Amino acid sequence: MYRAGLRPEEVTPLLVESFTAPVTPKGWGELTFEEAAPETDKRWTDDGSRRQRRSLKARPRGATRTVPVHPVLATKLAAYITNRELKAKNRLFSGYRGGELNYCVLDKALKRARELVLTPEQVGSPLARTLYDWRHLCLTNWINTGVPPATAARWAGNSVTVLMATYVNVIDNEVSLRARLEGMYDIPTAASNSDPHSD
């Protein structure tokens, strides 16, 4: 979720073939999403299961979304698939007994990870407390590092309007923008010497 901006309900339906491995070592891969499987109470699904598969959020049935996979995640996914000897049509991530991965498993893993790597003060704070926080952090980083909003929105499966309305208060790239602007008004020495109106 942190490296590719996934929603929790987009993680669980992923199959091995959803991942396209990089063609070069330490290269970028891709993940292609075809459906979402939000977890809810059995009373609210048509078939009485805890998950009801549906189209991607705000997209028609059959539409897909492809996002780039950071080399760090791409390397880990490729090794994970190989080590587990996963084949086509296998779930990329599964539960303890091979079934669908439940959110409670992800929540428990997140809780353990926070306790292992964060300070006690951070553990008690809202920092990275929910699964969605990792998606938010990914999208924020995309914007802060200069990914055009239209591209970030396409990768995230949002509209530009929703993306900017949600993340406008967490965009913090003024320092990098100022560094770019510093070079905008630099005049080559040769030009300034030959043109008396160069200022």
- Residue 189: give the domain boundaries: 8-194
Q: Residue 33's closest CA among 135, 105, 113, 146?
A: 135
What tokens appear for 161 in the block?
Answer: 């309007």
Amino acid making up residue 5: G
Q: Is residue 114 included in any domain, yes or no?
A: yes
Cα distance between the two ends of the chain: 49
Q: Is residue 110 included in any domain, yes or no?
A: yes
Q: Is residue 112 included in any domain, yes or no?
A: yes
- Domain count of the chain? 1
Report residues of the chain scoring pLDDT below 50: 44-45, 56
Amino acid making up residue 150: A
pLDDT in tens, 44-85: 445 555 555 555 455 556 677 889 999 999 999 999 999 999
pTM (global) more than 0.75:
no
Question: Rounded to whole angstroms, how far apart are CA atoms 103 and 85?
Answer: 24
What pLDDT is recorded for position 148?
A: 92
Domain CATH for 92: 1.10.443.10
